[in-house]
Amino acid sequence: MMPRTRLAAALILAMAFLFCLRSESWDPCVQVVPNISYQCMELNLYKIPDNIPTSTKILDLSFNHLNHLNSHSFSNFPELQMLDLSRCEIQMIEDDAYQGLNHLSTLILTGNPIQSLALGAFSGLSSLQKLVAVETNLASLEDFPIGHLKTLKELNVAHNLIHSFKFPEYFSNLPNLEHLDLSNNKIQNIYHEDLKVLRQMPLLNLSLDLSLNPLDFIEPGTFKEIKLNELTLRSNFNSTHVMKICIQGLAGLKINRLVLGEFKNERILKSFDTSVLEGLCNLTFEQFRIAYFSKFPRSDTGLFNCLVNVSAISLLSLNVDSLEALPKDYRWQHLELTNCNFKQFPTLKLNSLKKFVFIGNKGMSTFIEFELPNLQFLDLKRNHLSFKGCCSRTNFGTTKLKHLDLSFNDVITMNSNFLGLEQLEHLDFQHSNLKQANDFSVFLSLRNLRYLDISYTNTRVVFHGIFVGLVSLQTLKMAGNSFQNNLLPDIFTELTNLTILDLSKCQLERVSQMAFHSLPKLQVLNMSHNKLLSLDTLPYKPLHSLQILDCSFNRIMESKEQELQHLPRSLALLNLTQNDFACVCEHQSFLQWVKDQRQLLVGAEQMMCTQPLDMQDMPVLSFRNATCQMNKMIISVSVLTILLVSVAGALVYKFYFHLMLLAGCKKYGRGESTYDAFVIYSSQDEDWVRNELVKNLEEGVPPFQLCLHYRDFIPGVAIAANIIQEGFHKSRKVIVVVSQHFIQSRWCIFEYEIAQTWQFLSSRAGIIFIVLQKLEKSLLQQQVELYRLLNRNTYLEWEDSVLGRHIFWRRLRKALLDGKPWKPEGTADADSRQQEATTST
Ligand SMILES: *[C@@H]1O[C@H](CO)[C@@H](O)[C@H](O)[C@H]1NC(C)=O
Ligand SMILES: *[C@@H]1O[C@H](CO)[C@@H](O)[C@H](O)[C@H]1NC(C)=O
Ligand SMILES: *[C@@H]1O[C@H](CO)[C@@H](O)[C@H](O)[C@H]1NC(C)=O
Ligand SMILES: *[C@@H]1O[C@H](CO)[C@@H](O)[C@H](O)[C@H]1NC(C)=O
Ligand SMILES: *[C@@H]1O[C@H](CO)[C@@H](O)[C@H](O)[C@H]1NC(C)=O
Ligand SMILES: *[C@@H]1O[C@H](CO)[C@@H](O)[C@H](O)[C@H]1NC(C)=O
Ligand SMILES: *[C@@H]1O[C@H](CO)[C@@H](O)[C@H](O)[C@H]1NC(C)=O
Ligand SMILES: *[C@@H]1O[C@H](CO)[C@@H](O)[C@H](O)[C@H]1NC(C)=O
């Protein structure tokens, strides 16, 4: 037992060793951009790899086991600009660890449990702009040895153990600092003393993030005379009281943008009231944003008393549900309401408002007209709104509108062509359900419109004047709609300034030759995801500026070579992937063209054949022309052969009987016939044939030899051959037993037809008709030829009476005897005498 466990242990050890060895030295880094960018993430590296080019600028070493950074650790990579050392278990960084990285601008140290950071750890980083030291056990900014990083713009020390808000002295040495992220630390109190440095050497454009610190107290006057670009305080306060006190503590601050609020999953405040924001009256700020307060008062506009002079307001995910009470004289110019809970569309009356963004508000269904006389920018996307009548000046009470976004809403019924909204430059309806857009020239007055998006609006273009008036349009997106007859008609006549046109997913099967004739400036045309069957390039000919043509995801099998010459010369990119290319020699010239145009075609390697079966899912580029030369030869030879064979076959088939019969005639001519008569009858009449005909003729005197297919046909030989060889060739005469069954049975008719031919060829009166029953004339007339013959020739009628039978047999024998060779034994005479004798009895 013991040795076995030991062996196992040894094996495991060896494997572990091999695994480590393999991990460390064999796993190559991913080459993102050769000589420039390498990704060595999570490769179980224990040291910095040395097989990476010295020219590397971007190096990602995250999630490895570097533990310890010695001095000059990166001296192999003097060109480095960006170094990611996230979660590398680094505990110790020695002096000069990054020495020589004069071009490094970004250093990421996130998630390293640093215990020992030498004073000269960051020395040599003369270009560093961004240092990310999130989650690095940092306890104080004071001890962070970055004072010499004069170029630093962004310092992120979030998620550490910093207690003090004191800006260290060395900040006066960092004149470029614009972002300081101190979020998620342990700062509780902010004192006047902390910002001493900023008072001496103001950082005019500093953005400061203090979110997720458990703020308790801000000493009044701390921010007096301080100027910042932005201050963010989210999820900082555990009660409204603390929040109120702290906001008062901000008095005197001059700031461009203030952000207050909580985070979606970090909501602490249990209540909220108007007084909380009172302190804001002692601040000077331009923009205000507030987010995710769950207890935000629904319609208390008193909250905004201190925001009268603010120019931009943004409310995100709050419970506000009405803003009607806002005084008209508020100076707000931009208002953004996102994911709030309005029950009704807010009919604001703010004279100053220029930009109104109202997105993703649930709970309303109908748009209500409002009066915002200075509004220029209106974004109402994703509100499930329906519009009864769109769009004109009366909807928004403004004539200054330039940007209108009604995308991702409900039904929008068009009943006006933007009267009074002639200033519009940008219009977006995508993914709303547009009604009546196709009934008249809706966009007629929009002579300034540059951008129009009606993608996925359920529009079926029937009316050709739909885009009349859009003379300045540069971008038109109409993906996911449809056209009458799946044909793209000539509807862009006035759009002479158009540069981008998206017609993807429009179920198009054909394109009118004139469709693009008025678009000389078009640069991008997207025809992908349609149903085009061939790359008919003629319509693209007038597109003198076309650079990108996307015809991917169609059903294109080929294109005629002479047509390919019509592609515009300016074309730089053609996407033909995901089509149904037929890799057959018939389209050889097109396939060759594909090979020649590899530069032009996007992903030429990914263009696959779908036909023929044996080429399915093979790259189009793998198609060999040489096989076609061969194939051509083979094909022409085989076609010729097949042609000859089939002609011969057809001839043989047509004249098969004649040929056979011809052969038979000769034989007959030589007097080789062995039967006196070949009997054609329906199997239904077989009883009569056996019991009457055969008995009387074969057993009578003279005996006649009959050919009967049930008896005389050679088994295993095809019926037709039998009939001809045995039946006709070897018989002098043919007896046709005509009955009701005979006429109805196709087989009999077939035999009869052959017999006719034979009669014709031998030009003998060789056919003897026996009519068994009275025939219905109408039935007989269906068999025209038989009917004719019966009328023309005399025939024997079978009569089942003593006298009738007697006459019948006499006449039949006589007919059969006609032309029977004379036998020297005198049998013929004897026969005839015998016959006379029988007949007279
Ligand atoms: C990468 O650098 C090596 C050595 O400097 C050079 O030979 C090679 O051509 C470079 N490769 C690329 C893709 O630039
Ligand atoms: C201030 O910083 C912001 C980014 O935080 C930047 O967009 C803005 O241009 C800067 N302003 C000045 C005057 O440098
Ligand atoms: C708020 O925070 C302070 C200091 O961190 C603490 O003493 C107090 O108990 C907290 N209050 C609540 C309601 O959590
Ligand atoms: C504004 O600040 C002054 C003194 O700095 C103070 O007296 C006043 O109460 C403050 N107002 C508010 C609303 O906090
Ligand atoms: C807004 O500006 C006006 C005039 O500039 C001033 O009288 C008023 O006190 C300001 N209101 C607030 C809350 O800052
Ligand atoms: C088309 O664009 C050109 C410049 O790109 C501009 O000068 C011209 O006015 C535009 N045409 C119309 C009808 O807007
Ligand atoms: C064309 O449209 C399709 C889908 O609508 C899109 O995926 C593709 O990127 C577009 N092509 C170009 C060149 O923009
Ligand atoms: C076709 O290729 C172009 C250029 O690479 C790309 O932008 C476009 O998205 C491609 N089309 C589709 C449908 O993927």
Ligand nearest to the CA of 446: 6
- Per-residue pLDDT at 732: 81
**Per-residue pLDDT tens digits for 621-633:** 888 877 777 666 7
Phi, psi of 525 (to 5 degrees): -130, 120
CA of 34 relative to ligand 1 center, distance in Å = 7
CB neighbourhood size of 687 (10 A): 9
HEC string of 25-47?
Answer: HHCCCEEEECCCEEECCCCCCCC
Q: Does ligand 5 have an atom closer than 6 angstroms to the CB of 286? A: no
**CATH entry, 677-815, from 3.40.50.150, 3.40.50.10140, 3.40.50.300, 1.20.120.920:** 3.40.50.10140
Q: Does ligand 2 have an atom closer than 6 angstroms to the CB of 178? A: yes
Burial class (CB in 10 A: 0-12, 13-18, 19+), 337: buried
Ligand nearest to the CA of 305: 5
600-629 in b/e form (b: 16+ CB < 10 A) is: bbeebeebbbbeeeebeeebbbebeeeebe
DSSP 59-88: EE--SS---EE-TTTTTT-TT--EEE-TT-
Round the CA-based radius of gyration of the chain to a whole number and report it.
50
Half-sphere exposure of 804 (CA within 13 A, CB side): 7
Phi, psi of 344 (to 5 degrees): -140, 150
- Per-residue pLDDT at 364: 78
CA diameter of the chain:
159
Confidence tier at 830 by pLDDT (50, 70, 90): very low
- Per-residue pLDDT at 370: 87
- Atom from ligand 2 closest to the CA of residue 256: 1
For residue 2, pLDDT beyond 50? no
- From the list 236, 250, 257, 252, the residue with the least C-alpha distance to 188 is 236
**Per-residue pLDDT tens digits for 460-486:** 999 999 999 999 999 999 999 999 999
180-206 in b/e form (b: 16+ CB < 10 A) is: bbbbbbebeebeeebbebbeeeebeeb
- From the list 345, 290, 352, the residue with the least C-alpha distance to 327 is 352
CA of 35 relative to ligand 1 center, distance in Å = 6
User: What residues form DSSP beta bridges with 379?
Assistant: 357, 405
- Report the interhelical angle of 625-669 vs 588-596 (nearest 10°): 170
Mean pLDDT over 205-216 rounds to: 95
With the most atoms of ligand 7 within 8 angstroms of its CB, the residue from 477, 508, 526 to mutate is 526
User: What residues form DSSP beta bridges with 476?
Assistant: 452, 501
**Per-residue pLDDT tens digits for 506-560:** 999 999 989 999 999 999 999 999 999 988 888 888 999 999 999 999 999 888 8
CA 193 from chain centre, in angstroms, equals 62
Fold observed for domain 296-477: 3.80.10
**Per-residue pLDDT tens digits for 9-30:** 555 554 544 444 444 444 588 8
Cβ pair 119, 141 in contact under 8 A:
no
With the most atoms of ligand 6 within 8 angstroms of its CB, the residue from 449, 451, 472 to mutate is 472
For residue 6, pLDDT beyond 90? no
- From the list 143, 236, 123, the residue with the least C-alpha distance to 182 is 236
Q: Picking from 110-114, 486-490, 613-617, 715-719, which range would have the lowest pLDDT averaged per residue?
A: 715-719
Looking at residue 133, the DSSP 8-state letter turns out to be -
Residue 646 or 41, more confident: 41
**Per-residue pLDDT tens digits for 60-75:** 999 999 999 999 999 9
- Which bin fits 431, alpha (ψ -120 to 50), beta or left (φ > 0)? left
Q: Does ligand 5 have an atom closer than 6 angstroms to the CB of 309? A: yes
Record the tokens describing residue 675, joined without a space: 């039967």
Q: Picking from 163-167, 194-198, 226-230, 269-273, which range would have the lowest pLDDT averaged per residue?
A: 269-273
Query: How far is Cα 184 from Cα 214, in angstroms, rounded to an integer?
Result: 9
**Per-residue pLDDT tens digits for 427-458:** 999 999 999 888 889 999 999 999 999 999 99
CA of 522 relative to ligand 6 center, distance in Å = 13
Query: How far is Cα 463 from Cα 630, in angstroms, rounded to an integer?
Result: 52
Residue 781 or 316, more confident: 316
For residue 561, pLDDT beyond 80? no
CA of 540 relative to ligand 7 center, distance in Å = 18
Give the closest residue (by CA) to ligand 8 atom 5: 602
Residue 324 or 293, more confident: 293
Contact partners, residue 840, CB within 8 Å, separation at least 6: none
DSSP 222-255: TTTT-EEEEEEEES--SSHHHHHHHHHHTTT-EE
Query: How far is Cα 180 from Cα 183, in angstroms, rounded to an integer?
Result: 9
Q: Does ligand 7 have an atom closer than 6 angstroms to the CB of 548? A: yes
CA of 238 relative to ligand 3 center, distance in Å = 6
- From the list 73, 79, 156, the residue with the least C-alpha distance to 118 is 73
Query: How far is Cα 321 from Cα 340, in angstroms, rounded to an integer?
Result: 7
- From the list 601, 635, 632, 633, the residue with the least C-alpha distance to 619 is 601
Query: How far is Cα 515 from Cα 486, in angstroms, rounded to an integer?
Result: 13
- From the list 269, 325, 274, the residue with the least C-alpha distance to 293 is 269
Give the closest residue (by CA) to ligand 7 atom 2: 504
Sign of CA dihedral 609, 613, 618, 624: negative
With the most atoms of ligand 2 within 8 angstroms of its CB, the residue from 153, 205, 257, 258 to mutate is 205
- Per-residue pLDDT at 598: 87
For residue 3, pLDDT beyond 60? no
Residue 7 or 836, more confident: 7
Q: Does ligand 2 have an atom closer than 6 angstroms to the CB of 232? A: no
For residue 834, pLDDT beyond 60? no
Q: How far apart are the first and last CA of the chain?
A: 122
Q: Does ligand 2 have an atom closer than 6 angstroms to the CB of 256? A: no
Write down the domain spans for the chain: 296-477, 573-628, 677-815
- From the list 488, 486, 484, 490, the residue with the least C-alpha distance to 468 is 490
Contact partners, residue 400, CB within 8 Å, separation at least 6: 373, 374, 375, 376, 423
Please state, rounded to an integer, the average pLDDT across all residues of the chain: 84
Q: Does ligand 1 have an atom closer than 6 angstroms to the CB of 53? A: yes
Q: Does ligand 6 have an atom closer than 6 angstroms to the CB of 471? A: yes
Query: How far is Cα 214 from Cα 21, in angstroms, rounded to an integer?
Result: 47
**Per-residue pLDDT tens digits for 329-377:** 788 999 999 998 888 888 888 889 999 999 998 877 888 888 899 999 9
Query: How far is Cα 636 from Cα 629, in angstroms, rounded to an integer?
Result: 11
For residue 109, pLDDT beyond 80? yes
Contact partners, residue 433, CB within 8 Å, separation at least 6: 410, 411, 412, 457, 458
Q: Picking from 189-198, 302-311, 703-712, 718-727, which range would have the lowest pLDDT averaged per residue?
A: 718-727
CA of 33 relative to ligand 1 center, distance in Å = 11
Confidence tier at 586 by pLDDT (50, 70, 90): confident
Q: Picking from 183-187, 445-449, 701-705, which range would have the lowest pLDDT averaged per residue?
A: 701-705
With the most atoms of ligand 1 within 8 angstroms of its CB, the residue from 31, 33, 35 to mutate is 35
Collapse the DSSP code of 259 into the 3-class scheme (helix H, G, I; strand E, B; otherwise coil) and give the result.
Answer: strand
- Per-residue pLDDT at 179: 96
- Report the interhelical angle of 746-762 vs 625-669 (nearest 10°): 70
DSSP H or E stretch at residue 477: strand 475-477
CB neighbourhood size of 642 (10 A): 11
Ligand nearest to the CA of 604: 8
Cβ pair 89, 61 in contact under 8 A:
no
Q: Picking from 31-40, 76-85, 614-623, 656-665, which range would have the lowest pLDDT averaged per residue?
A: 656-665
CA of 166 relative to ligand 3 center, distance in Å = 22
User: What residues form DSSP beta bridges with 356?
Assistant: 335, 378
CA dihedral 300, 303, 308, 311 (to 10 degrees): -100
For residue 175, pLDDT beyond 80? yes
- Per-residue pLDDT at 18: 45
Give the closest residue (by CA) to ligand 6 atom 2: 497
Q: Does ligand 6 have an atom closer than 6 angstroms to the CB of 448? A: no
- Atom from ligand 5 closest to the CA of residue 307: 13
Ligand nearest to the CA of 54: 1
Burial class (CB in 10 A: 0-12, 13-18, 19+), 135: buried
Give the closest residue (by CA) to ligand 3 atom 8: 238
- Given the DSSP bridges, would you call strands 154-156 and 130-132 parallel, antiparallel or unpaired? parallel
Query: How far is Cα 170 from Cα 142, in angstroms, rounded to an integer?
Result: 9
Residue 723 or 482, more confident: 482
Query: How far is Cα 824 from Cα 821, in angstroms, rounded to an integer?
Result: 9
Q: Does ligand 6 have an atom closer than 6 angstroms to the CB of 545? A: no
CA–CA distances in Å: residue 43 to residues 28, 29, 87, 100: 8, 8, 12, 25
**Per-residue pLDDT tens digits for 746-805:** 666 666 666 666 555 455 557 788 888 777 777 777 776 677 777 777 778 888 787 788
With the most atoms of ligand 8 within 8 angstroms of its CB, the residue from 575, 599, 605 to mutate is 575
- Given the DSSP bridges, would you call strands 227-234 and 207-209 parallel, antiparallel or unpaired? parallel
DSSP H or E stretch at residue 707: strand 706-707
Contact partners, residue 602, CB within 8 Å, separation at least 6: 552, 573, 574, 575, 576, 577
**What pTM was computed for the model?**
0.70
Q: Picking from 93-97, 154-158, 558-562, which range would have the lowest pLDDT averaged per residue?
A: 558-562
Collapse the DSSP code of 724 into the 3-class scheme (helix H, G, I; strand E, B; otherwise coil) and give the result.
Answer: helix
For residue 837, pLDDT beyond 50? no
DSSP H or E stretch at residue 625: helix 625-669
